[in-house]
Amino acid sequence: MDPFDFRSIECNGITLRLASVGEGPLVVFCHGWPETWYSFRHQLPAFAEGGFRAVAYDVRGYGGSSSPWPVEAYSLKNLTADVIGILDALEYDRAVVIGHDWGGPIALSTAVLYPDRIRAVGSLSVPHTVRGPIPAIEHWRTIYEGRYFYQLYFQTEGVAEAELEADIRRSLYLTYCNFDARGTARMLAEKQSSAKAPHPDSCFLETMHEPEGFPDWFGPTDLDYLVGQFAVSGMRGPLNRYRAQTIDWHELPQLSNVLDQPACFITGTLDPVNYFLFSGKPKRSRIEKHYRDLRMFELLDSTGHWTQQEQPAAVNALLLSFLESLD
């Protein structure tokens, strides 16, 4: 951790912990679930070497940042205000913001809501999509009626927390190892072999496969660090992001807008998000209607959900190339 400068800032009524390195134009990295600033450990040095001030932070509810209790504290209105709070605290008028998983919608929504502050935006795993005709959770309830879907399981406060916090190490290990390239390939093979689908009343970890050892991109030291972070924060804040989606739909009709800023989207061919958003690999023609200036669309072969951790060199090269395209 020595190369990084850690500091805490006060913004939007809470404390956020930042990890930063480098000097120059600001790039802010937003992580997803269940991660911390640490998911961008491979990006920060590369961007600093590229001439940027690179900052990854613990999203509220995670690690060293505040963990408010109410579900509404995790709305996109609040999460995007946190990003702007980082710009203000570091005294930058504008920045590039890049997000992965839930960090993607945080980054993209910040660009939509604060167009004068965000000069460009990138997302990994999750592309920009406009606000639907009904809240996302209502959509998933219709699509998955009578079937298991993890986002529906997460809705009841306290249930998933109890399951995941009972053994944080095992919960994180299974989550990381089931949704990378190796885990998704296994899942797809099981579907093709007509393996039994999860019971509608399954718990989250019941749907997981017990892997053999660690993958090559994620090891015991990484897991140790994350376990320590979630031992502090717990899982309520991270899970509340899933529960706040209906609040977003009612609070932010602006999210019906296309994205104006220069943008890039990178995902893996074996990212499971592709299969519930697109029923397969995403196509540029399907998502670019939501962008005014989609400058980069990249599919990384043999890459699962943890895009920038599984393929750090490729992701760094692509993102830095995207930034070079900006005025």
Q: Which residues pair with 9 in a beta bridge?
A: 16
DSSP assignment of 164-194 = HHTTHHHHHHHHHHHSSHHHHHHHHHHHHTT
Considering 58, 82, 101, 180, which one is annotated as catalytic?
A: 101
Residue indicated by tokens 């072969």: 301
Q: Please, are residues 312 and 303 in contact by the beta-carbon 8 Å criterion?
A: no
Q: Please, are residues 271 and 237 in contact by the beta-carbon 8 Å criterion?
A: no
C-alpha–C-alpha distance, residues 84 and 90, integer Å: 10
Active site residue 128: no
- The answer for residues whose C-beta is within 8 angstroms of residue 50's C-beta and 6 or more apart is 320, 323
C-alpha–C-alpha distance, residues 164 and 34, integer Å: 11
C-alpha–C-alpha distance, residues 293 and 264, integer Å: 9
State which amino acid sits at residue 189. A
Active site residue 101: yes
State which amino acid sits at residue 127. P
- The answer for residues whose C-beta is within 8 angstroms of residue 51's C-beta and 6 or more apart is 22, 24, 25
| Alpha helix ranges (H) inside 114-235 | 136-143, 150-153, 159-165, 168-178, 181-192, 220-233
State which H helix or E strand residue 29 sits in.
Answer: strand 26-30
Q: Known catalytic residues?
A: 101, 305
